[in-house]
Structure 1
Amino acid sequence: MTSEAITVLGLGNLGRALAETFLRADRAVTVWNRSAAKAEGLAATVAGTAADAVAASGLVVVAMLDHQAAQQVLTGVDVRGKALVNLTSGTPGDARELAGWAAANGAEYLHGAVYAVPQTIGTDASSIIYSGSAVVHEQWQKSLAELGKVTFLGDDAGRASGYDVAILSGMYGLLGGFLHATALARANGIEAGELTPMLLSWLTDLQPALTMFAGEIDGGSYAGGESSLAMNQSGLATLIRAAEAQGVPFAGLDAFKALVDRQVAEGRGEESLARAVESF
């Protein structure tokens, strides 16, 4: 083992991209995967077991399917003195649980959330947020930067996942809204390609509103009311009725209106739409 050697556990799409990126940077890379065939074509050392792979390097990057798989792979492995960087998707609680396990077993733990598709790992289009061990972040920052832009969020191992689940929720809300928008458009003979430029323009114009809402939420003051709950309650009711009439109802709209309805029922109708966050 050399202190600069790197191990990658898991060779799915992300794990293989990580290994390839480290190899392009002339790192000594050891890889392990349940199916050794996944390592074909990689100019890396292929370990026979996860324990052998971990023993080979100072930095161990974990990229498994899910938290349970990461736990199973690491259980029983000697990780003393290792820097564990876990890029496996999971919840904040998952990250904190594994950080606790690492500490109890003599390892430093850093959790990361990847904002890139595998093809862009190692390019300017890739960014990864991390939280957990500042020691790992500082010692291995150069190596981590080879994967993409590095942002360190502090010593709470769950913080990166906290950002991640919030960002992904926003993403899926946007994607669900987009797909419903295209279904509504098609019901009126409008192609998705025709709709999308106008939708993108409108969504871009909404950016200042999101910044304003964020300030209201953080400040706990919703008195502005430029986009009031009552006004949006009415707008949502019309939109839901239109979607149902055209045969493309969307439960997401009903759920959003239920949040607004709750606040209006409490006498908050003239306050900002941002107050709907309190319904959660």
Structure 2
Amino acid sequence: MAVESKVSLNKPLVNSFPLEAQFYHRSKHKKRTQIRANKKVLGPKHLILAFFLTVGFFFLLSQAYYYAISCDKLAVKNIFISCPEEAPRLTAENFLRGRNLGNLLICDLDYLKNMLIALPGIKDARLAKQLPDTLKIELVPRQPKFYVFRGSFQLVDEEGKLVASFTSLPDSNFPLVEDSNAFRNGYEEKIKTAWNCLENLAPEFRKQVLKMTFEEDGKISVQLTEDPVQVIIDGEDFAEKLTYYLTNRDKWQDWFGELEYVDLRIKDRVYLKQLNPQPGKLQAGKKEVG
């Protein structure tokens, strides 16, 4: 029996070796992927619904805000004031007593702070809110440095800010600063000069300063405790010059007797005048001590 085998002339009898298979190559030309977006157009019903939702949200928000600022539970009912000194604390308590501070949430702390530091003896104030109805205040007191006379005797700090006021000079714990022109001009500058003069003095010498007077010609007259001599100085090197006088006054009194004044304005020079010339002392008149 005969068997007929048909073989295609175009088809190879054996497949190509796997290594000879053709690899896949990415095309050099990039093709953009196109995505079709389905655009949805909101209809009138959707727009009306969004409008009413927005209006409803803001309405509820306004109602919540109105409730918060008008709620009695959030009204300021308790005020705690702390201060290392009693006088400023009592001043603040008297100022705030009976005042309606309103709702705690909308209480203006900056405005209240400015009102407090305008009071005598209060230099600074720190305020804090504590829900639901408490206001905490911490006061920084002013430190008194000397008295000034401006129609009344005023105890002031180094900035010239009022600590307390008196109709008469109460004591000599602090020196008195006066001005021949009643501080009608240059008050802050003169107060600054006075404090710079006193600050640089040694504590034991500072205690001896009873009064400082600013004269019209720019000089400063100093009166010391238990010393009738008028000491004339200027603002320049005040502490050094006054210290020089205090350390030499006993020697000068031995030389010249009682003195009316000592002028220390010229550097490295001392001009003095005898009060009552005495026999055996140097001649009366102005004397220069180099």
TM score, norm. by length of structure 1: 0.24
Larger relative contact order (Cα-Cα within 8 Å, sequence gap ≥ 6): 1
TM score, norm. by length of structure 2: 0.23
Structure with the higher fraction of residues in helix conformation: 1
Structure number with greater Rg is 2
Structure with the higher fraction of residues in strand conformation: 2
